Structure formats: structure tokens, C-alpha cells
Amino acid sequence: MSTTLKVLSAKKVIASHQITQGEMLVIEARDKSNYQLIDNQTGLGPQNIIAKREGKDLKLFLEDGDMSADVVIKGYYGDENSEEVSNLIVGQHENGGIYAYVPESGLKSDAVSMLAEEVAAPQALGGEDLASAFWAFNPWWLLALVPLAAGIAIAASNGGSSGGGNENTDNTADKPTLDAKTDGSVTVKPGADNTKVVVKYTDENGNEKTATLTKDANGNWTSDNPDVAPKGDGSFTIPADKVKDGSKVTAIGTDDKGNAADADATTAGNNPDTTADKPTLTPETDGSVSVKPGEDNTKVVVKYTDEDGTEKTATLTKDADGNWTSDNPDVTPKNDGTFTIPADKVKDGSEVTAIGTDDKGNAADADATTAGNNPDTTADKPTLTPETDGSVSVKPGEDNTKVVVKYTDEDGTEKTATLTKDADGNWTSDNPDVMPKNDGTFTIPENKVKDGSEVTAIGTDDKGNAADADATAGNNPDTTADKPTLTPETDGSVSVKPGEDNTKVVVKYTDEDGAEKTATLTKGADGNWTSDNPDVTPKNDGTFTIPENKVKDGSEVTAIGTDDKGNAADADAATAGNNPNTTADKPVITAENDGSVTVKAGDDNVIMGVKFKDENDKDQTVAIKKENGEWILFFDSGDNNVTVDKDSGIVKIPADKLKDGGEVNALGRDNLDNRADADPVNAGSDPKNAKPITEDKDGDGTPDGIVSSPAAIDETGNNNKVTTTIKLDNNNGVDNLPITIVGTGGKPVSAEDFEAPVVKYTDPTDNTKSLSPKCRRYL
């Protein structure tokens, strides 16, 4: 036994000593201190000790089989009156209270502080609850020297002895409560001051489990074990199907001071009985059928067909004394508690059924059986049944006492299992892979027998007759389809990959308009896949794609794959991504008032091309691109004198390079090669602000833009006309071109310069003027 001795003042633990069996612990006595003994295994005080006085020293003997003193407290007995000594030897009782060790005799003279020289006396926990192990002045403890084990009623704890004024702190926690319910569950209720409870239990599979229940600052409880969840009333439940029937459940509650308390351990109950035991129907070799009620049955209803083909019923009833009766005189009880339908009362080969009911109303069907035929003198052959899960069931013949089964394992090795029936009717197997079931049959598991291999069995009865059975092991069943795979692509589309064994996949998704869509993908006999939805088409790699512009961004896409056996599997649902940036920002074209056109590249453009018609109605193209953050002109199909703003990417086409009213187009391209056409714009008309060319490049003293021919005329013959050609400084023309005609002597022309008839012309500046005919010679 491992024990701890704590020395406690009124406020704190002064010292803590480990007591080692076979070694004496010697300490000095301390005034105004208690000495607490703690069994390290239980956390409680030892049940019994022996105290002995030697001089002024107190010796304590523990019940550890050692006759030497375990603890010596030197100077424990001072010079003061022993009745006033309140330095107590204390311990914690299993009821959670702290008590002094008092003499088992109940005699005051046997009390620890009252022992005479060389006197020893057995001590046990008793007296009044001290409320705390910490020291407090308590001269009245000698008034209640009754051990707890004596059965004397202990006064309820009311904060300590009548000494009063005890400000000792609480060093015990309230213990949790464990309540095993009749339904097999266990309720855990934390102690009133608990802030944490650690619950330990065993699950249905025999695994040790732990649930830590924690109380937060708001007083709400949580559990780190999803099987042990809180109820609304502050308690927790371990469900019946999560705790092993009859297993031990423990709990330790801890308060906010770190004090711990064990709950009274409990044992989980049994899960409630919700099923009845099924009756057993046995076709006997003599053609009769035996009916054995289930173990808990109180009523069995048997249905069979008599020799005339009439449906018959026998109701078997168990009375309060445990005796069975039948309401059908043809089906009577035997001494062993079974019933028999005689061979001449049941039609050979007909089906016999039975339903057993227990006292709770639960019902269970017997395995239906077929009445046998006339008695057979040969051994009954075993039955081998290839199950749908790939296993093989072996049922010994009714009279068999031994069955030898041969089969091939998954590795191709020949195996043998010898099944033997003992004198008590119990079957055993010498092959651990072929074990008996409760219904008297054996199973070769699906993973222990090779698919499609032959299984044979020979049954032998107690007379040595043998009968062969044979069967072929089935294949492990395919009960699941491979699930399709849905992959949201980065471009916003969703890829659909059928499962490996799928022959059909039904895909559901939401289109861009929010409409629910379905695509049924079908695999043909040639292995090629088709889709009934033109938007979801197959690719060469055997997958399908829902294009990004056909599926709503962020919407759920589901798929169910089905194999050729009708098994279905859901794909992991996917969420369609967002469509990527698939368009560039379009350029902006502006027709200016002066007849020019400006074209601004789109915000994300890195290249822009501009097309237009020149004054001669010919197609022209210019292109700009962005390099190192600046726009440059890198193509011009003609001498178009366009300008490019390096920062804004604005291209300006002069008015005289554009056909009036001609269409201007532009195409912008971003760095992902997405393209966008600008909205086309028609160029405006050039303003009519032309002027005659005033340069004199030929040096003849006359502006090159004004040429008169001939230079001089007379008034006879054909030499009486002058043609003046005026060349303008642009192609815009002019709405009001001013003309000034100089008269005689360089003076402005007047009526005196003309002869009749009068000549009129319009001067844009001075409006209409009339000239006399005599001036015509100067024109």
C-alpha cells in the first residue's frame, strides 16, 4: 500500500511525505497542525491504523502487514493538558467527509492525544465531520469518539465543529452521479461544483472510451466525445448502443480549485429486449415436423398444410406455470418442451411456418421449413449454399455427426474443414476459418474461398452412412458502383468523368439563367459514350464537359453513376467555379468636331488595331501596342500622320486622312488574347475653312495657289476670257471663299470699271455687287 502523510496548517499544506512500506518516516511535530493520511490508490484515508505513545513521540502503524512503526511524529505530546490538544490525525472517508481518527473502543483514554506512556490503541475514522483537513482549534473533538464503522449516525456537515471561526478553504469537490438506466444507457450528472468531469466506459466492441465534459465560463457544458452528448437538463447520456452491457462506468469530477471526487462507479444495464427468440421448425426423417418454441416465447402460432391440402393452424400457449398447451389436438406437446406435427397430419413437401411471441409482444418468424417424406435409411446430406456475398454456408444433414468440407482458398490452396457434433449436440470445427453459427450452420467466409471454385461436403451419421453434397462458390457480389468524378475547372467549366464501371451517369446542374438542367450520359455496347444534352458533350479522353457559359457560377453540380447491375453511386458534389475573364475591354471611338477621329484603347488592352477609309476611299490600318508601360505605333498601312499618346493609348487620325462619313472600326486585345470590337463610328465632315495657298515656290511673284490664264486679254476674238484657278490649302473646301477683284489702278473694283451689260457677282464679305460693263476688260 502506498500512503502519503500531509502536514496541514490552518491555511496551507506545510509538507507532504511519502510513506514507503518497510521504512520508518520520522518527522518533527508542529504546533497547530493536522496530519492527514491518504491512501494513494483510493485518495481516501486508510480505514484503520494503530496509534502508540512512546515518551513524547507518537508512532503510527498502518495495516500493511509490517509490525514496525510506519510514522514517528517526534514531540507530538507536549507539556500541555492532553485534553486541549487539537493537533489531529485525520483522513477522508468514502462519504467525502474529513474525520479524525478516533479509538475503535470509543474510550476517551484511547484517543490519540490521550494515550498514556507505552499504550497503543486501534484507531478508525469517526466523530464529527471536520469540514476540512486544515487545522482548526477544536478541543471538543473528544466528545464524539464514535468510529463511522460503528453505524452511529454522523451529524451532517455544517461547516466544521462548534469551534466556529474556521476559514479553511474547500479541498473537496462534489462527486458526479452515474445512473444506469433500464434502457441500457448511463446518465452522467456533474457534481454541483464541478467544472470538469472525466468519464470512462467500455463500448460495445470492448474498447475503453473516455469523455471529458467541460463547463465554460457561461455555465454551459460540452463534451469532447460525440457519443456522450449533453441533455437539456445539464446531464449527459452514454447511449445504450455505445456502452457495453454489464461493463463498469466511472467518473471523476473536478472543481475550479482542482479538487477531485470519484463518482460511485456503476454498471451499465442491458439493452432492452426488442426481439423475440424465433421458434425452430425441424422436418424429421420420419416425415413429421418438430416445433420448438423460442427460449422467451409465450405463444407460437404454427401454420401447415394437412395431407388433404387444407391450411391448418395450431396455437401453442405457455401458461403462468411454464407449461405449454395446444389448441390443435393434432399438434401436441412432448416431454422435452417441443411439439410434433405427425407425419400423417402434414403434407409431404409442404411448407410449415411458425411465429413466436414473447411476453413483451415481440414476434419472431421461424425459418420456414418443408415437411419431409418417408423415412430414409441413408445419412442426410449436408447442404452447401453459395451466398450472394460470395461466402458458402454449410448446413450439416439432420442426422449428421460429422461433415468433411473441402474447398479452395483465395490463394488456390486446397483446404479441409472437419465439422464434428459432440454428445451434447454441439458442433465444432478443426478449421478456424470455418466456424459454427448459432443456427447450427457453418460459413466459409467470402474472403476465404476462391470465387467460382468447387466446394464439396460429405456428411456422415452415427451409423456410418455417408452422403455427398456439392456446390460452386459464388463470386463476391458487386453491390456498389464506382462513383463519377466532378471537377470544377479554373475556366468555370465542370468536367464529368464516369466511374470505371459506370454505364450511365445522370448529371444535374443549373444553367446561367438559373434553370435546372439534366444530362444523361450513356455508354454504348461498343464502349462509346453519348449525351442526350447537346451542351454536355464527350471529349476524346472519355470525360464530358459542362462549358463555363452553360453552368451558373457557384452552383452545385451532382452526378449519379450506375453500373450494369443497377448499383448506383453519387459523385462528390462539386461547385462550379466562376467564369474567367474571357473578354477584353473594348476600345472607344470618338468622331471629333474638326473632322478628325480619336480612338482610345480599352483599359486592359495591350494591342489595338484601327481600320478606316482615307479621302480616296481606300482602306487604311494602323496598330499600336503597349511596351514597358507605354503605347507605341508599330504599324501604319499608309502615310496617315496618326499620333499616339504614349500614356493613354489614344490614337488621333487627322481629318484630312479620313473620308467624310466613312466608318472607323477598332479591335482591342488583352494579355490573355481576349478580343473586343469597338462600337464603329462614322467620321464627321471636314470643316469648310480652306484658304488659297499663298506660298510662291516657283518665284514668279504670284502665289502658287492662284493661277490666271491667259495672263492678258483683249476684247476681240476669242481672247476675251480669263480663267483663274485657286488651289486650297486642304481638301475641306470652303463654304464662303472671299473673292476680291482689283479694279483700275490697283483700286478696288467699282462700277466705273465695267461697261454694259452690268456684271454681278457675290462677294462672301460684301454680299452681291454689280459691276459696270466697262470694267470687263480687267477681268
What was the pLDDT predicted at 623? 96
What was the pLDDT predicted at 562? 95
Tell whether the model's pLDDT for residue 463 goes beyond 80.
yes
Tell whether the model's pLDDT for residue 565 goes beyond 90.
no
Q: How far is CA 527 from CA 503, 524, 646, in A?
A: 9, 5, 59
Tell whether the model's pLDDT for residue 772 goes beyond 60.
no
Tell whether the model's pLDDT for residue 531 goes beyond 90.
yes
Q: Where is pLDDT greater, at 161 or 629?
A: 629
Q: Which of 213-222, 463-472, 614-623, 682-691 has the highest mean pLDDT?
A: 614-623
**Computed over its alpha carbons, how large is the radius of gyration of the chain?**
57
Q: How confident is the model at residue 375 (pLDDT cuts 50, 70, 90)?
A: low
Q: How confident is the model at residue 97 (pLDDT cuts 50, 70, 90)?
A: confident
Percentage of the chain beyond pLDDT 70 is 81
Separation between Cα atoms, residue 625 and residue 627, nearest integer Å: 6
Q: Where is pLDDT greater, at 492 or 586?
A: 586
What was the pLDDT predicted at 423? 92
Separation between Cα atoms, residue 559 and residue 341, nearest integer Å: 57
Q: How confident is the model at residue 611 (pLDDT cuts 50, 70, 90)?
A: very high
51-81 confidence digits (pLDDT tens): 999 999 999 998 876 678 899 999 988 776 5
Task: Flag the least confident range among 66-70, 72-76, 352-356, 367-371.
Answer: 66-70
The CATH code of domain 383-472 reads 2.60.40.10
Q: How many CA within 13 A on the CB side of residue 498?
A: 28
Tell whether the model's pLDDT for residue 83 goes beyond 60.
no
Task: Flag the least confident range among 149-153, 360-364, 659-663, 667-671.
Answer: 149-153
What was the pLDDT predicted at 483? 94
Question: Is there a contact between 374 and 287 (Cβ–Cβ < 8 Å)?
Answer: yes
Tell whether the model's pLDDT for residue 247 goes beyond 70.
yes
What was the pLDDT predicted at 145? 65
| Over residues 80-105, mean pLDDT | 81
Question: Is there a contact between 269 and 238 (Cβ–Cβ < 8 Å)?
Answer: no
Q: Which amino acid is at 368?
A: A
In b/e form, how buried is each residue of 72-106, taking b as 16+ CB within 10 angstroms?
Answer: bbeebbeeeebeebbbbbbbbbeebbbbbbbbbee
Percentage of the chain beyond pLDDT 90 is 48
Question: Is there a contact between 219 and 192 (Cβ–Cβ < 8 Å)?
Answer: no
Tell whether the model's pLDDT for residue 374 goes beyond 70.
no
What was the pLDDT predicted at 480? 83
Find the angle CA(63)-CA(68)-CA(73) to the nearest 5 degrees: 90
Query: What are the domain boundaries of the chain?
Result: 3-150, 177-267, 280-350, 383-472, 485-575, 588-682, 706-778
Q: Where is pLDDT greater, at 664 or 9?
A: 664
Is this model's pTM higher than 0.75 or not?
A: no
Q: Do domains 383-472 and 588-682 have the same CATH topology?
A: yes
Fold of 588-682: Immunoglobulin-like (2.60.40)
Separation between Cα atoms, residue 176 and residue 80, nearest integer Å: 44
What was the pLDDT predicted at 730? 60
Tell whether the model's pLDDT for residue 760 goes beyond 60.
no
Q: How far is CA 146 from CA 44, 417, 474, 740, in A?
A: 19, 70, 78, 148
User: Is 485-575 a domain of CATH 1.10.3470?
Assistant: no
Q: Which of 427-441, 598-612, 706-720, 756-770 has the highest mean pLDDT?
A: 598-612
Tell whether the model's pLDDT for residue 466 goes beyond 70.
yes
What was the pLDDT predicted at 283? 92
What was the pLDDT predicted at 53? 92
Q: How confident is the model at residue 157 (pLDDT cuts 50, 70, 90)?
A: very low
The CATH code of domain 177-267 reads 2.60.40
- On the question of a cis peptide bond just before residue 773, with omega within 30 degrees of 0, the verdict is no
| Over residues 24-52, mean pLDDT | 90
Average pLDDT of the chain, as a whole number:
84
**Torsion, CA 588, CA 594, CA 595, CA 601, rounded to 10:** -20
Separation between Cα atoms, residue 555 and residue 46, nearest integer Å: 70
Tell whether the model's pLDDT for residue 722 goes beyond 80.
no
The DSSP secondary-structure symbol of 185 reads -
SS3 content of the chain, % helix, strand, coil (to 5): 5, 40, 55
Separation between Cα atoms, residue 170 and residue 22, nearest integer Å: 34
| Over residues 365-388, mean pLDDT | 81
Quick check: helix, strand or coil at residue 776?
Answer: helix
Question: Is there a contact between 613 and 620 (Cβ–Cβ < 8 Å)?
Answer: yes
Residue 143 dihedral angles phi and psi, to the nearest 5°: -85, -10
DSSP assignment of 66-128 equals: --S-SEEEET-S-SS-GGG----EEEE-TTS-EEEEEETT--GGGSGGGPPTT-EEEEEEESS
What was the pLDDT predicted at 40? 85
